[in-house]
Structure 1
Amino acid sequence: MLFHSVLGLHPTVEETAERLRSAGHRVFTPDLFDGRTPESVEAGVELKDEIGQDEILRRAIAAAAPHSDTGLVYAGFSLGAWLAQTIAFGDEKARGLLLLHGTGEVPDDAAVDGLPTQLHVADPDAYEPHDWQTVWYLRMREAGADVEVFRYPGAGHLYTHRGVPDHDEEASTRTWRVVGDFLRELG
Structure 2
Amino acid sequence: MKKIRKEDLNQEVYDLFDSYVHSKIDRRKFVNKLSAHAVGGLTVSSILAFLLPKYAEAQQVKPDDDRLKSEYKEYDSPKGAGKMRGLLTRPVKAGNKLPGIIVVHENRGLNPHIEDVARRAALEGFITFAPDALFPLGGYPGTDDEGREMQRKRDRNEMLQDFIAAYDYLKEHQECSGNVGVVGFCFGGSISNSMAVNVSDLKAAVPFYGGQPELADVPKINAPLLLHFAELDKRVNEGWPEYEQALKANKKDYQAFIYPGVNHGFHNDTTPRYDEAAAKLAWKRTIDFFKEKLG
TM-score normalised by length of structure 1: 0.86
Structure 2 residue aligned with 1:17? 118
Shift of 1:58: 2.9
Q: Does 1:156 align with 2:263?
A: yes
The verdict on how the C-alpha distance between 1:160 and 1:85 changes in structure 2, with shifts beyond 3 A counting, is same
Which of residues 98, 104, 110 is equivalent to 2:206?
A: 98
Which of residues 87, 106, 125 is equivalent to 1:5?
A: 106
Cα deviation digits, residues 59-113 of structure 1 (max 9, x gap): 2222223234623212211111111221221222111111112132234143356
CA distance in 2, matches of 1:14, 1:135: 33
TM-score normalised by length of structure 2: 0.57
CA distance in 2, matches of 1:31, 1:68: 18
2:210 is paired with a residue whose SS is: coil
2:153 is paired with a residue whose SS is: helix
- Please say if residues 9 and 37 of structure 1, whose CA atoms lie closer than 8 Å, have aligned partners that are also in contact: no
CA distance in 2, matches of 1:112, 1:124: 30
The verdict on how the C-alpha distance between 1:115 and 1:15 changes in structure 2, with shifts beyond 3 A counting, is same
Bigger shift: 22-31 or 10-19? 10-19
Shift of 1:15: 2.1
Q: Does 1:167 align with 2:274?
A: yes
RMSD: 2.2
- Please say if residues 12 and 160 of structure 1, whose CA atoms lie closer than 8 Å, have aligned partners that are also in contact: no
CA distance in 2, matches of 1:26, 1:19: 11
Structure 2 residue aligned with 1:53? 156
Q: Give percent identity, aligned residues only.
A: 24
Q: Does 1:115 align with 2:216?
A: no
Considering Cα pairs closer than 8 Å and 6+ residues apart, tell me whether 1 or 2 has the greater RCO.
1
Which of residues 165, 169, 178 is equivalent to 1:62?
A: 165
